[in-house]
Chains A and B, each alone.
Chain A
């Protein structure tokens, strides 16, 4: 029954493609079996909507008259510093960047109400953003100061470029200590008071293609409400972690670097985010279509929350001290009941990842494909898989002496 992406695209063009979400495919496989479902279904769509810290955007703001060389100077967008180690009027803004005068955690826990992720959200929403820059001045770029409003529609380029998104599985965070702690996994109450998790589980893109058999470099995706592409494996991509019999990683594993035109995106799917006591970030919507090229690929997409397990990690000691202690393993089906049991204690659970929005993304992508406005792409190169032997290396510190 093997299909090709070309054949699927033909069916999309003819309006004949059968497209279902990663949620819907579960029941279809139960009713019809793998063989029949694989024959009938062409594409399974996935989705995730979650804070993804390693995200940012680059801009080319156009040349002022007289010219200014921002490269090597300082630039602030709504008081949030942007990276200027690029050419004259290119800038990179990271989602975690904070205004210089933000009190951070000096008043603990810091609120982190506004940062790079919020600037990106405001730009995408079409709001004017205040740019304040200083430069050192050169013969060809004499200007030393610039203060101006900028708007995304006037920029030459505005490109979302995220070095690490769409983590394949993640830790469940708890707190064994006797005081509340404020982490990137949210506020964790003392003595196992709550457990926070962060994955769309059965809807999550890489959970549905655990060995990266279809998702590769060049794969066209839903990104922030617009269209983007997988640019590379994400940072910390770690395909060699332990897996279940069905191939699902039992901890954080693969990641994606993604890129796309910010001008097409929407603030509904790029939301500036504040983690109390931790910092600023951005919540990003990503959806990836999986072409059903074989029964094997279809079988992976039928993964359920009950098949996916995540390690429970103490964020008061084990995580910060990089100890490998795991308090247990729980399935996303258990997490979604609202409580799990750790060390004999019933612990209420909460998610940082929005499952309802993930489902909305998978459904939106499904509609785009059915309407024929979104065709699938053949990856230009695969992501490093298990056979690559690639692992996540810790930092080996070498003291600098003398």
Chain B
């Protein structure tokens, strides 16, 4: 059975310069699509991947990643907007790395496109009325 899942990989500093993800293709027959990649000031690497392949290969790949010391977080969490608290100011628009917020030119109301959201969580603390909520 083929699967396709979105996961967040946290690489500790010692692993940041190692070729780990490429082995998912070579040794485990998996496909990946990088949705987001960054290295924090503390040199922890963060990679958001869409990983797809056969379920058995997927499970083996995840096992391999875990063994190398990569921390894996599932992206099954979801960011939602509390419509009662949102004031439609628009601060979130330039905070969101994936452009999940857009302002309607005429009404100046802010739309939130959940399907573009990667659940990175940056908007949650940046939202002045705290209208964005993370749900697991």
Given contacts A338-B103, A355-B108, contact A274 B128 (CB under 8 A): yes
B93 at the interface (CB under 8 A from A): yes
At the interface with chain A, which of B16-24, B57-65, B81-89?
Answer: B81-89
Q: Tell me the bound Cα distance from A272 to B126 in angstroms.
A: 14
B12 at the interface (CB under 8 A from A): no
B13 at the interface (CB under 8 A from A): no
Q: How far is the CB of A51 from chain B (nearest CB, A)?
A: 6
A271 at the interface (CB under 8 A from B): yes
Q: Tell me the bound Cα distance from A280 to B125 in angstroms.
A: 12
Per a CB cutoff under 8 Å, which of B90, B107, B108, B129 touches A283?
Answer: B129
Query: Are B94 and A356 interface neighbours, CB within 8 A?
Result: no
- Which chain B positions have C-beta within 8 A of A351? 89-91
Binary interface encoding of chain B residues 86-116 relative to chain A, with 1 for a CB under 8 A from any of its CBs, else 0: 0111111111000000010001110000000
A111 at the interface (CB under 8 A from B): yes
B130 at the interface (CB under 8 A from A): yes
Query: Are A187 and B88 interface neighbours, CB within 8 A?
Result: no
A167 at the interface (CB under 8 A from B): no
Q: How far is the CB of B101 from chain A (nearest CB, A)?
A: 9
Q: Tell me the bound Cα distance from A194 to B91 in angstroms.
A: 10
Query: Are A350 and B90 interface neighbours, CB within 8 A?
Result: yes
A contact residues, range: 20 to 34
Given contacts A338-B103, A354-B87, A356-B109, contact A348 B93 (CB under 8 A): yes
B contact residues, range: 10 to 19
A61 at the interface (CB under 8 A from B): no
Q: How far is the CB of B78 from chain A (nearest CB, A)?
A: 21
Query: Are A111 and B85 interface neighbours, CB within 8 A?
Result: no
- Which chain B positions have C-beta within 8 A of A355? 88, 108
Q: Tell me the bound Cα distance from A147 to B103 in angstroms.
A: 46
| Docked complex: A195-220 residues within 8 A CB-CB of B | 196
A113 at the interface (CB under 8 A from B): yes
Given contacts A186-B91, A350-B93, A354-B88, contact A273 B108 (CB under 8 A): no
Q: Tell me the bound Cα distance from A109 to B125 in angstroms.
A: 10
A357 at the interface (CB under 8 A from B): yes
A276 at the interface (CB under 8 A from B): yes
Given contacts A196-B91, A353-B89, contact A274 B109 (CB under 8 A): no
B residues contacting A by CB (< 8 A) are: 85, 87-95, 103, 107-109, 125-126, 128-130
